[in-house]
Amino acid sequence: MTAYSAIASNKRRSASLILVFAVLVLAVGWAWDQLEGGGTAIVPIAGVVALFSALMGYFAGDKIALAVNGAIRAQKEEALELYRLVENLSITAGLPMPKVYVIPSPAINAFATGRDPQHASIAVTEGALQKLDRSELEGVLAHEMSHIQNYDIRLMMIVAIFVGMIALLGDWFLRSRLWGFHSRDRGRSNVHAIVAIAGFLLLLLSPIVAKLIQLAMSRRREFLADASAVLLTRYPEGLASALQKIQASHEPVETANSATAHLYIANPLSGRTLSTLFSTHPPIKERITALSQMG
Q: Enumerate residues 6+ apart whose C-beta is below 8 A from 42.
A: 32, 36, 169, 172
Distances in whole angstroms, Cα of residue 217 to Cα of each of 40, 146, 152, 254, 276? 31, 16, 10, 25, 13
- Active-site option among 144, 222, 254, 286: 144
Question: Cα–Cα–Cα angle for 190, 192, 196, nearest 5°?
Answer: 115
Phi, psi of 95 (to 5 degrees): -120, 155
Q: What is the DSSP string of 8-58?
A: HHHHHHHHHHHHHHHHHHHHHHHHHHHHHTS---HHHHHHHHHHHHHHHHH
Annotated catalytic residue 144: yes
Buried b (16+ CB within 10 A) or exposed e, 125-136: bebbbebbeeeb
Q: Is 100 helix (H, G, I), strand (E, B) or coil?
A: strand
SS3 state of residue 167 = helix
What is the torsional sign of CA 231, 233, 235, 240? negative
Neighbours of 211 (CB within 10 A): 14
Give the active site residues: 144
